[in-house]
Amino acid sequence: MRLTVFKSKLHRVRVTEADLNYEGSVTIDSDLMDAAQILPWEQVNVLNVNNGERFDTYAIRGPRGTGVICLNGPAARLAHVGDLVIILTYAQMEREELLRHTPIVVHVDENNRIQTSSSGANRGAKG
C-alpha cells in the first residue's frame, strides 16, 4: 500500500507578489525550490497563515536569490502581498520507505532568505 506523506515545506514564507492575470501557479525563488526539493510543475499545497485559506497549485521557478513568492491566477485572490504562507509538498511511499523518510523543512527570514534547511527527526515512525 502506498501512503501519501509530507515530503517538504517552505515554512512561513512571505508573499511578495500576486498576479491575477497570469495563467496560474505559484512562482517560487529557485533557491527556495532547491532547498525544499520542489521540482518545476510539482503540485504544492499552500496554507495562508494570515487568513486560513488552503489551496493546491503547482510550482514554477522564479529568479534565483530574489525571495519571490508570487501567487498567480485565481490563487492571487487567496492572499495579499505580505501574508505568510506555508508551502507543502507530499510524496507517495510504501510503508518501508516512510520508516526511513525524513521531511525537509526550510525556515526563512522576513525577506525569504534561507535561515535553516533541515530534515526533521523521524518522529513517530516506529516499526
pLDDT digits (tens, 9 = 90+) for 7-34: 999 999 999 999 999 988 999 999 999 9
Strand intervals (E) in 53-125: 54-62, 69-72, 84-94, 104-108, 114-119
User: What DSSP state is assigned to residue 20?
Assistant: T
Domain contains 30: yes
Check if 90 is active-site.
Answer: no
**Host domain of residue 32:** 2-94+101-119
Grid cell for residue 16: 511578495
> What pLDDT, on the 0 to 100 scale, is given for residue 122?
42
Q: Tell me, what's the pLDDT at 125?
A: 42
pLDDT given for residue 124 in this prediction: 42
User: Which residues of the chain have a pLDDT value below 50?
Assistant: 121-127
In a domain? residue 127: no
Tell me if 9 is assigned to some domain.
yes
Per the annotation, the verdict on 25 as an active-site residue is yes
Catalytic pick among 8, 25, 30, 117: 25
47, 26 in Cβ contact below 8 A? no
* Residue 82 lies inside a defined structural domain of this protein: yes
C-alpha cell at 18: 500576486
